[in-house]
Amino acid sequence: MQTTANLADREGRVVDSRFSLFRWLGGTAEGSVYLTATVGAGAGKAAIKLVPAGSPGADARVAGWTAAARIDHPHLLRVLHTGRSTLEGEPGGEVIYAVTEFADEVLADVLLGRPLTPDETKEMLGPVLDALACLHSHGYVHGRLKPSNILVVADNLKLSADSAPIASGKAATLALVPGAYDAPELSRGVVSPAADVWSLGMLVVAALTQRTPAWERDSGFEPVVRPALAEPFEEIVRGCLRLDAASRLTLAEIKDRLEGIAPVEGAPAALDPDFTPTSAPSSRWAPAWIAAAVLLGIAVTALILHSGQSPSPAPVAGPVSVPAEPPTPAPSPAPVTASSRVRSEAASAQSAVAEKPSAARPAQPAEPPAAGHVPAPAGGAIVRRVMPSVLPDALATVRGKVLINVRVQVDAGGAVSGAVSESPNASRYFNRVAVEAAQGWQFAPGEGAPGVWELHFVFRRGGATVTADQRNP
């Protein structure tokens, strides 16, 4: 077995009778990298990667290197030469090799000292997204996206392809111990561009925090990043780290979010990538439901006039954060924004109406403001409930109700460390907003944690409700 000392002892040897190993740059016996030099016109510094020829998937790796050498993109590290050869002075030491451009800097080394700033992360992601899009357009998946493969060559950020891109849909050879950057579906042996999207989500977390989120591959839960990242990175990471490969963001959607042109709060539901509206009511039934709506409006108006109350203000357009049942106290005041000010004014108007109940109808308790974070009653195992933020147009499509069950893993501190939907056949949109809400729940240490809980979300036209049950260990 090769040790670090053995790998460094290779310095001075020659590969394929033309590439001298000047200095060991790093790696292991499964893949070590050395400083070398190209020959002929334009000779200069280069890097050479050596992999034992007997390694699993060696032939596929050579084919990947050969394919990478034919792809020309400003943000892909150029593969200059590749082949198979014996290593001078090492009996039986046949290797496969790839000679690439020499990198002046590696992201993995930078992250040892400090995290990237949000601006640096955005600047890094642009070239990486372009390089991945180029690979995917040629029918390849990178398969090994991580900080050690993000390089700087003469002030130009590049994605290393010396790890050998894999043809999309072909069998992949996983590392003996899959890491956080390896998408869950790789264990089934077939890769797709969505595997690179998973890796990209982990890359964003590592760039901003210097570590990947704690996640157990066999847990069945999606990773939860704590503390939450600044936007748009939080939304991007959530969209990348979905267990269901088909529901992950695309590279184009990630780029849109980086550039601030993704669907914004309050946009029509049809613009949401996971929302597919149901068909409108048949025109055959239109006269009946229009007439019913008119009669209902007349009845409500008469009731209001009879009670002496003013009509409630029209509902505010935009995503609706619905309160839990039963109503619970409102959370601490949030920073005032334009949308929160509108909601506050609407709530105030509704409260003013509620202060003048008619003699014929008892006053109804005022509902809490439409807020995302709803504290649970004191003394319970649930410290904080987070209700889903739902687009009104999505609720309008519900016929009856949509049930979404979300299983959450709770750590010793009471925070949700993993969440996964158990309703895969239900609406993808409602699945997503339910899981995102579940990730923000908080449980009381010692009462609800550590452990596993089930959250049962019910979406109806009028809003959403949620109940929670603790699973037996």
Q: What CATH number corresponds to the domain at position 380? A: 3.30.2420
Compute the distance between CA of residue 468 and CA of residue 450 in angstroms, rounded to an integer: 15
Beta strands in 189-323 (DSSP E): 222-223, 320-321
Is there a domain that residue 340 lies in?
no
Which residues make Cβ contacts (< 8 Å) with residue 334, sequence separation at least 6?
A: 340, 371
Is there a domain that residue 64 lies in?
yes
* pLDDT of amino acid 283: 37
Report pTM: 0.60
Is there a domain that residue 454 lies in?
yes
Is there a domain that residue 324 lies in?
no
Taking 80 as the threshold, does the pLDDT of residue 325 lie above it? Answer: no
Is there a domain that residue 208 lies in?
yes
Torsion of CA 118, 121, 122, 124, to 10 degrees: 160
**In contact, 156 and 76? CB cutoff 8 Å:** no
Query: Domain check: are 124 and 89 in the same one?
Result: no
Report the range of poorest mean pLDDT among 42-51, 106-115, 203-212, 286-295.
286-295
Is there a domain that residue 240 lies in?
yes
- How high is the mean pLDDT of the chain? 75
Residue closest to 315 by CA, chosen among 387, 401, 375, 395:
395
Of 72, 102, 132, the position where a domain reaches its end is: 102
Query: Domain check: are 77 and 127 in the same one?
Result: no
Query: Domain check: are 110 and 191 in the same one?
Result: yes
Query: Domain check: are 112 and 92 in the same one?
Result: no
Residue closest to 437 by CA, chosen among 401, 383, 385, 376:
385
Query: Domain check: are 34 and 110 in the same one?
Result: no
Torsion of CA 351, 353, 354, 356, to 10 degrees: 130
Query: Domain check: are 457 and 415 in the same one?
Result: yes
**In contact, 101 and 47? CB cutoff 8 Å:** yes
Query: Domain check: are 85 and 136 in the same one?
Result: no
Torsion of CA 92, 93, 98, 101, to 10 degrees: -150
Mean per-residue pLDDT, 327-331? 44
Of 53, 72, 102, the position where a domain reaches its end is: 102
25-39, 252-266, 300-314 — most confident range: 25-39
Report the range of poorest mean pLDDT among 32-41, 84-93, 146-155, 168-177.
168-177
Q: Give the domain extent around 249.
A: 105-262
**In contact, 458 and 325? CB cutoff 8 Å:** no
Report the range of poorest mean pLDDT among 201-205, 258-262, 420-424.
258-262
Report the range of poorest mean pLDDT among 30-34, 57-61, 158-162, 297-301.
297-301
Higher confidence at residue 261 or residue 309?
Answer: 261
How many separate domains does the chain show?
Answer: 3
SS3 of 422, please?
coil
The residue written with tokens 């019913």 in the block is: 292
**In contact, 257 and 411? CB cutoff 8 Å:** no
Taking 60 as the threshold, does the pLDDT of residue 230 lie above it? Answer: yes
